[in-house]
């Protein structure tokens, strides 16, 4: 009988073959998380030969997981043509599913994709669930096959797949900012910073100096390096916010 905790311990200890066998057993029993984890082993070639095409089937079985991890990885397969035919529109569809299921990685991706009007290359190239939700960053892992192999024609397809939409960008940055500190803190901090910048730049919403200051300070308290740099460069302090509140009260 499949035991997730035992399989996860084996994976963490580097016993990838044994872990993969246990995840496959769980997948055969109908466990969606086990299916996801076996798909992840197939995708990365951990304990078993790398097979992104087969990984797709196991991710697809787990696509309804609440955290959006499986849908995000499916989006990455189609974005990079890794084991499937590259399809930016299908990548966008899976990215939307992932974002709606709550993955901050997908929410940030959509915010930036709708800002730029392009299916760009993300810093997070996948998500693991061993032992819990963990983003896989580009600079910490090998590039996926075919990830950087695209022509000028292919680049045009990236722009055709998604249209610029400032309001949708604003809405997804707002969603990304709403996660708490227990959920991929560095990415939530980035979401809070980008949400604040929407009010700085008037992206998808009205310019609002007071709200941008309040949100930027919140992003800084959350540890966003971009927010902290912006605060320092613009001389923003908590007193500025307090002073605005006092002037507002006096004006009533």
Q: What is the pLDDT of residues 158-203, one digit of tens each?
A: 999 999 999 999 999 999 999 987 778 999 999 999 999 999 999 9
Of residues 112, 63, 108, the one with CA closest to residue 90: 63
The secondary structure of residue 132, as a DSSP letter, is S
Number of compact structural domains in the chain: 2
Residue 201: Cβ within 10 Å count:
13
Query: What does the pLDDT average to over 209-225?
Result: 96
C-alpha distances in Å from residue 194, one per residue of 12, 167, 190, 215, 226: 34, 13, 6, 10, 9
- Asked whether the bond before 131 is cis by omega within 30 degrees of 0, the reply is yes
The secondary structure of residue 222, as a DSSP letter, is T
Judgement on whether residues 131 and 194 belong to the same structural domain of the protein: no
Give the pLDDT band (50/70/90) at residue 250. very low
Span 47-93, pLDDT tens digits? 999 999 999 999 999 999 999 999 999 999 999 999 999 999 999 99
Last residue of a domain, one of 165, 181, 197: 181
Q: How many CA atoms lie within 13 A of 4 on its CB side?
A: 14
Sign of CA dihedral 223, 226, 232, 234: negative
Please give the model's pTM, rounded to 2 decimal places. Answer: 0.90
Q: What is the CATH number of the domain that holds 105?
A: 1.25.40.10
Place of tokens 């996926």: 144
pLDDT over 80 (residue 246):
no
Range of the domain at 143: 4-181
Give the pLDDT band (50/70/90) at residue 150. low
What gap in Å lies between CA 70 and CA 89, rounded to an integer? 17
Judgement on whether residues 163 and 188 belong to the same structural domain of the protein: no
Judgement on whether residues 177 and 192 belong to the same structural domain of the protein: no
pLDDT over 90 (residue 139):
no
CB 78 within 8 A of CB 145: no
Judgement on whether residues 23 and 92 belong to the same structural domain of the protein: yes
Q: How many CA atoms lie within 13 A of 251 on its CB side?
A: 6
Judgement on whether residues 186 and 127 belong to the same structural domain of the protein: no
Judgement on whether residues 14 and 98 belong to the same structural domain of the protein: yes
Judgement on whether residues 165 and 188 belong to the same structural domain of the protein: no
Span 100-123, pLDDT tens digits? 999 999 999 999 999 999 999 999
């Amino acid at each position: 009988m499949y035991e997730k905790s035992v399989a996860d311990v084996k994976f963490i200890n580097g016993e990838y073959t044994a872990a993969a066998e246990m995840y496959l057993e769980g997948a055969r029993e109908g466990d969606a998380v086990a299916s996801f984890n076996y798909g992840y082993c197939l995708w990365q070639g951990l304990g078993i030969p790398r097979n992104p095409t087969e990984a797709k089937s196991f991710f697809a079985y787990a696509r309804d997981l609440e955290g959006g991890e499986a849908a995000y990885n499916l989006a990455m397969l189609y974005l990079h043509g890794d084991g499937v035919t590259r399809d930016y529109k299908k990548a966008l569809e899976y990215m939307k599913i992932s974002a709606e299921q709550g993955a901050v990685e997908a929410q940030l991706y959509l915010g930036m994709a709708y800002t730029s009007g392009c299916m760009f290359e993300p810093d997070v190239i996948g998500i693991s669930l061993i032992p819990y939700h963990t983003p896989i960053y580009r600079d910490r892992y090998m590039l996926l096959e075919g990830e950087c192999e695209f022509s000028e024609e292919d680049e045009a397809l990236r722009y055709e797949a998604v249209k610029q939409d400032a309001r949708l960008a604003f809405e997804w940055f707002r969603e990304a900012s709403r996660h708490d500190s227990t959920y991929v803190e560095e990415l939530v901090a980035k979401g809070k910073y980008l949400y604040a910048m929407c009010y700085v730049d008037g992206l998808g919403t009205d310019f609002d100096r007071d709200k941008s200051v309040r949100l930027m300070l919140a992003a800084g308290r959350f540890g966003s390096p971009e927010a902290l740099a912006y605060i320092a460069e613009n001389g923003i302090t908590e007193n500025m916010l307090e002073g605005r509140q006092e002037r507002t009260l006096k004006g009533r």
